[in-house]
Structure formats: C-alpha cells, structure tokens
Amino acid sequence: MEPRRIVLAVVLMAAVLLVTPYLFPTPPQAPVAKKPTADSLTTGVSGATAPGATATTPAAGAAAPTDSAGAPAAPVVVPVDTATVKTAVADYRTTNRGAALIGASLTNYQALSNGGRTRGGIVELALPNERMLAFRLVVPGDTIDLGGQLFRSQQSQNGANTVVRYDADLPGKTVSITYSFLPDSYRVNVAAAVSGVPENSYVLVDLPPGFRSNESDSTEDHSHLAYAYKPELEGAEGIAFRSLDPGEREIKAGPITWGVAKSKYFILGVLTPKGGTPFAEITATGGPRVGKTATRGQATLVAPLKAGNAAFEVYVGPQEFKRLLALGREFETSNPYGGWIQGIVQPFATMVIRLLLWMKATLGLSYGWILVIFGVAIRLLLWPLNQRAMRSQMAMQRIQPEMQAVQQRYKNDPQKLQQAMMQLYKDHGMSPFSSLSGCLPMLIPLPVFFALFFVFQNTIEFRGVSFLWFPDISVKDPYYVIPILVAGTTMLMSWIGMRGMKADANQKTMMYVMPAVMLVFFFSMASGLNLYYFIQNLASLPQQWLISQERRKPIVRG
C-alpha cells in the first residue's frame, strides 16, 4: 500500500468518524418504567408540576403565624441577599431565593477574544439571570419549586471550609440547604435536610441550562454544550444539546453515580458521595434554539431523601484531567467523546493525555515543544516497523511485472495460477501476506492521531497556550501557515516516495490531489494538531529518502 493511499485512508476514516454521528444520530430512548418513574417526578422544566400534582408555592396554604396569646404575629420579612464565597481558585455566589447557586467566576482562567488572545476579565460560567444549581422538592402528590421561597441564611467557617446554610419553613415541613466550599479544589459539598416528609420523597437537582461562552469562537464552544451521566455499573454517556429538539426529553433510569453539564472546557458536576445513595434517574430536555444553534437545555437529577436527608458533591470548574481523576468514580470520563467508537477512542485518548501531562511535568517545556517531541518520538519508535513495511512494499513493486505475467499465463487455470504465485513468492523470499504486513505498521499511528483529534477538542491544558506564531494551540492557525506546511510536506513525501519507481498516471495525480485534500482537512483544525502532523511528516522524510535511495540501487541476486 502506497504511503499516499495510507494518508487518503486517514482522511476518509476521519471523515467517517466526524460525519457518522450526524447522519445516524442515536435515537432518544423511551421512558423507562422504573420506580421512581421520571414522569411522576420531573417534567424537564424547572418549576413545573408533575402530572397529577398540584402546583404550589412554598408559602401557599401556610397557616398565619401567631404569638403566645394566639393573636396573629407580624410576618417575618426575609430580604433577598447574595452570598459570595471567595476561594483560592474561584468566587462562588449563592442566593437565599431558592438556596440556589447562581454564579461561579474562575479566577485562574481568563476569557479569550478572537484569535485566542486574552480579552480581559476572568471566566464567568453562569448565564445572566440563570441559576447554576437549583432545587425542587417532591412529596407524594406535590412538587414544590424552592425557587420561589426566600430562605434565612447564615455563613460560618468549619476549619478551612466556608459554610453557607439556608433554612426555610414550608407548610408542615422545614428545609435546609447547606453549602460547604472547599478552599482550593473547585469542590462544594451540598447537603439537603427536609423534615416532615414521608420516606418516598425526593430532591430534584436542576443542572444549569447552559454556560456563558468565554472562548474566542463562541459558536464552536456552543457545539460542545452537553449533559452527561454515569450509570453505576456502566460507562459514562453524553447527551449533546444539539441532539435534542426543543421540548424533546430523554429519561435515564438509575442508579446513577453522577450527572454533569459541560461546555468545551468547563463543567458543573453533581456526584454521589462515595458509598452514598445514588441518584434515582436523570432527565434531559431540549431547550429553545436561536437559529440552528442549541445553546440551552434542561437536566434534572433525582436524589432520594433517606430519613429526610440527601447529600452530594459538586464540582464547578475547569475540565482539568488531574482534578477530575482525583475525584474518583470515573469522573475523568465526564466528557464522553468518540461517538459510536467511544469505547475505543476514549481509553486511548486518556492514555495520550496522561503521557502528554507526564512529559509536561517531567520536561517543564511548553505544550508546543511537548507536541514537537511527542511527534518525533512516535516516529522514531515506529521507525523499525515502517522500515520493514516500506521494504516489503518495495519488494512487492519489484515483482509486479513477474506477477502480472504469471496471472496472464494462467488466467484460465486457477489451480496452476495459485501454484505459480506461491512459487513466485517463495523465489523472492515473500509470502501472500507480505503486502498486508507492509500496510499494517503504517496504520499504527492512526489511533494516536484520532486520540489527539479528540484531546484537542476538550483538553483545557492546551487552552490559551501560545507557541511560535500561534496565539492558542487549541484553535486554528489565524494565518493558515501550518495547514499549508502540512500539505507541502505531504507532497514532498509523495515525490520522494516515487523516486526510483515507474509511476503511472494515477500515482502522479495522487501526488497533487492528496496535498489538496490534506489542506482542506486541516484548514480549520487546531493548530496544535496541525503541528503534530507536520512534525510527523518532517520526521518521516529521512526514512522516505533512505528507502528511495535503496530502491534506486540495482538488484543483485546471489
């Protein structure tokens, strides 16, 4: 198999990988009839009542408070207030209206402008006037939206943790929501305590309807908006905003370990505590669209109340691999990718990102140089296999005239043709599998390339990293220099590969077509991915040259 055909195969396989999920999207699953049923708990719209339930505000139907003499007491007025908790890595905001989390500013990350340059200001995740984490209460026959309730609030310290507690009195019950902010880990421990409710009651945890874009390409950032969840005994699954039509709902029955809402680089995840009660189910609903872009959704986790209590861990921050890995519960897979080949791509991509992070920590270089070293190292590791493959191809090319002659001579006698072909292979020290063994080593770099393709889609470690003339290796080259270099080195490799051989018209055409295909394919790819492929091409040139020199030497038979 010619190297240019291998490149064409790479392009075609990548095209299939990218296009297939759009042509054949996974159909939404029907609601699962499992207790507790999602239809009896959630509607996918914050504040709506469940079928058959009566909508109430938290204060509706409450008896008027009285003093010790039985006379009506003056109502307690609770002002609306916002609590801001500053940690070493983020500023979080909660409100006593519904005891909701309403903001997260990540102080270690800057918002980016067009071209990947810093535009000033830190990353803010919350959409304007939207809640990032909100709560509803489900009791038999009723669903209560806590968003309309004003809670009493108090703030305290518990060691290094800042604690914000919200309390409210509802008809016949009391509700407490407590946030405990850890100082340097983007983590918040949340506990809900409800008194006066039966055992078959639930807290509904509403995830954010979207995120504010902080990227230079907001359209591309919006394309990564998704919810994801982890069934207790299975791998993580994702639900992209764009996969749901407005109002379309997907219901996934538990037990569920965690659920998340994510953008390209940032995430809000709600996790079951280790050894705790898993979520009963998750519901995701498509939101309204602006044009064809899906920027809004709705997702709700169902948390059972055990003796009136529920607890979970919340991570609100960047998708830093080491931080997600440290949380356990396979939370590093909270960004499922790879489509229908996720089971193959994601584990391999995880290995690649682990290796790149290790190289970064060990060598202390920028990620641009890490990619250069990684590209050269992969090519050097594969040098012996590629050498054998190229020589096998060269041998197959040399016996082509004899093979064609044998095929012509015995074209009407299949048995003699097979015997003559086997003898031809034997005379040249080859086998019928020599052609296949020559192609397989050239396919080995493909998993690395595919892994890097997905790594560059969501790896925040590459975000905003400048290198050479690239302002950001995670976005395309603003000057389109690197895609042109990729196309140029592809043509050079083809030209060197044809030295010393008699190329036909098709081969000569491919020498010009393949660089054009590569230019189109890489034109809008991340500049870091382009850089890796360009280095791969450069590192391949010496080996291609040596093989071409070997091909031009006369054959000496003993």
**Over the stretch 130-140, which tens digit does the pLDDT of each residue have?**
999 999 999 99
- 189 vs 499 pLDDT, higher one: 189
What is the pTM (predicted TM-score) of this model?
0.75
pLDDT at residue 434 in the model: 58
Residue 414 lies in a domain: no
Range of the domain at 547: 3-17+358-382+444-552
Confidence at residue 510, expressed as pLDDT on a 0 to 100 scale? 74
Q: What was the pLDDT predicted at 55?
A: 36
- Domain identity same for 465 and 330: no
Cβ–Cβ under 8 Å, residues 401 and 419: no
Higher pLDDT, 385 or 168: 168
Structure-token match 């925040």, residue found: 460
In a domain, 438, yes or no: no
Q: What is the pLDDT of residue 411?
A: 74
pLDDT for 458: 77
Same domain, 154 and 177: yes
- What is the reported pLDDT for 88? 94
Asked if the structure places residue 25 within a domain, the reply is no
pLDDT(95) > 80 = yes
Q: What is the mean pLDDT of the chain?
A: 80
pLDDT at position 404, please? 76
pLDDT for 20? 45
pLDDT at site 86: 95
Within a domain: 73: no
- In this predicted structure, what is the pLDDT of residue 240? 93
Distance, in Å, from the CA atom of 330 to the CA atom of 488, rounded to the nearest integer, reads 42
Quote the tokens at residue 342.
Answer: 């996720």
Q: Is the pLDDT of residue 182 over 80?
A: yes
Higher-scoring residue by pLDDT: 420, 249: 249
Tens of pLDDT, residues 156-177: 999 999 999 999 999 989 999 9
Same domain assignment for residues 96 and 153: yes
Q: What is the distance between the terminal CA atoms of the chain, rounded to a whole angstrom?
A: 28
Please give the share of the chain, as a percent, with pLDDT higher than 70: 75
pLDDT digits (tens, 9 = 90+) for 191-239: 999 998 998 899 999 999 999 999 888 888 898 999 999 999 998 999 9
Does the structure show a pLDDT above 80 at 64?
Answer: no
Domain boundary among 278, 304, 336: 336
Residue that the structure tokens 């914000």 belong to: 164
Residue 435 has pLDDT above 70, yes or no: no
User: Do 46 and 110 share a domain, yes or no?
Assistant: yes
pLDDT at 121: 86
Report CA dihedral (291, 47, 266, 472) to the nearest 10 degrees: 30
Q: Does the pLDDT value for residue 272 go beyond 90?
A: yes
User: Which residue is it, tokens 């190297």?
Assistant: 3
Give the helix/strand (H/E) hosting 55. strand 54-56
CA distance linking residue 501 with residue 494, whole number of Å: 12
Range of 260-274, 463-477, 479-493 with top mean pLDDT: 260-274
Which residues pair with residue 256 across a beta bridge? Answer: 231, 279
The pLDDT of residue 13 is 52
Could you tell me if 263 and 221 are in contact, meaning their C-beta atoms sit under 8 angstroms apart? yes
Q: Are residues 297 and 371 in the same domain?
A: no
| 187 and 92, same domain (yes or no) | yes
Are residues 11 and 35 both part of a single domain? Answer: no
Buried b (16+ CB within 10 A) or exposed e, 460-498: bbbbbbebeebbbbbbbbbeeebbbbbbebbbbbbebbb
pLDDT at 78: 63
Q: What is the CATH number of the domain that holds 185?
A: 2.70.98.90
CA nearest to 543, candidates 356, 372, 378: 378
pLDDT at 144: 93
User: What contacts 238, CB < 8 A, 6 or more positions away?
Assistant: 226, 227, 228, 335, 336, 337
Kindly report which listed range (39-53, 124-138, 532-546) carries the lowest average pLDDT score: 39-53
Q: Is residue 70 part of a domain?
A: no
Residue with the bigger pLDDT between 78 and 438: it is 78
Q: Is residue 410 part of a domain?
A: no
Mean pLDDT on 362-372 = 93
Ranked by mean pLDDT, the top range of 308-312, 395-399, 443-447 is 308-312
For residues 387, 393, 398 and 401, what is the CA-based torsion angle, rounded to 10 degrees?
180
Q: Looking at the structure, tell me whether residues 329 and 257 fall in a common domain.
A: yes
Q: Are residues 256 and 374 in the same domain?
A: no
Q: What is the pLDDT of residue 117?
A: 54
Residues 11 and 37 grouped into a single domain: no
Distance separating alpha carbons of residues 19 and 62, to the nearest angstrom: 56
In 3D space, the residue among 263, 215, 220, 224 whose CA is nearest the CA of residue 117 turns out to be: 215
Q: Are strands 142-145 and 54-56 parallel, antiparallel or unpaired?
A: parallel
User: Between 30 and 108, whose confidence is greater?
Assistant: 108
Please check whether residues 8 and 40 belong to one and the same domain: no
Number of structural domains in the chain: 2
Q: How sure is the predictor about 552, in pLDDT bands with cuts at 50, 70 and 90?
A: low
pLDDT at position 38 over 90: no
Comparing C-alpha atoms, which of 248, 243, 272, 287 is closest to residue 127?
A: 287
Q: Report pLDDT for 279.
A: 97
Contact 110, 118 (CB under 8 A): yes
**Residues 187 and 328 reside in one and the same domain:** yes
Would residue 240 count as lying in a domain?
yes
**pLDDT value at position 505?**
67
Question: Is residue 289 in a domain?
Answer: yes
Closest residue by Cα to residue 536 from 10, 2, 1: 10
Q: What is the pLDDT of residue 350?
A: 85
Worst-scoring range by mean pLDDT, 39-48, 274-283, 433-442?
Answer: 39-48
Instruction: Summarize the confidence of residues 107-122 as an average pLDDT.
Output: 74
pLDDT at 36 over 50: no
